[in-house]
């Protein structure tokens, strides 16, 4: 099956710094990638939809200036959490769409101290 990787798998950063998370589709090209956030014991919250070569579409309530998304190629999308705060600590998951399915990455645990 299709494989999606995320890097890093976990990161700890200090409040006020920026963190970049990479999402790669390893064996297929993905014109569309999604970024989700999951809080403990809660469902996946879609943050934004990333289309290759165009600006990401953000869901209501998600700050586009804080969560910068870049989809520079058909196999790579990045999420940068700018000026991170402790409340940004969460589990971030990306997925890549291939035909009728979407395949998820393993997730990135972000802890902001």
Are 47 and 35 in contact by the 8 Å Cβ rule? The answer is yes
| Residue 24 Ramachandran class (φ > 0 left, ψ -120 to 50 alpha, else beta) | beta
Place of tokens 């402790």: 86
29/83 with CB nearer other proteins = 29
93/112 with CB nearer other proteins = 93
- Shortest distance (Å) from residue 29 CB to other proteins: 15
- Shortest distance (Å) from residue 103 CB to other proteins: 7
70/102 with CB nearer other proteins = 102
Q: For residue 32, what are the contacts with CB-CB under 8 A and spacing of at least 6? A: 49, 50, 51, 52, 96, 97
Write phi, then psi, for 3 (nearest 5 degrees). -120, 135
62/82 with CB nearer other proteins = 62
Interacting residue ranges for other proteins, rule: CB under 8 A: 1, 4, 6, 32, 34, 42-44, 46, 49, 91, 93, 95, 97, 100-107, 109
- Shortest distance (Å) from residue 19 CB to other proteins: 18
Are 23 and 6 in contact by the 8 Å Cβ rule? The answer is yes
- Shortest distance (Å) from residue 22 CB to other proteins: 14
């Amino acid at each position: 099956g299709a494989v999606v990787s995320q890097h890093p798998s976990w990161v700890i950063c200090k409040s006020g710094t920026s963190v970049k998370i990479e999402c790669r589709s390893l064996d297929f090209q993905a014109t569309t990638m999604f970024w989700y956030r999951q809080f403990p014991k809660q469902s996946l919250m879609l943050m934004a939809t990333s289309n290759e070569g165009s600006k990401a579409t953000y869901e209501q309530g998600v700050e586009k200036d804080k969560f910068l998304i870049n989809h520079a190629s058909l196999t790579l999308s990045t999420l940068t959490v700018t000026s991170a705060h402790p409340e940004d600590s969460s589990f971030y998951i990306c997925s890549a769409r291939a035909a009728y399915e979407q395949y998820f990455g393993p997730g990135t645990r972000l802890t902001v101290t």
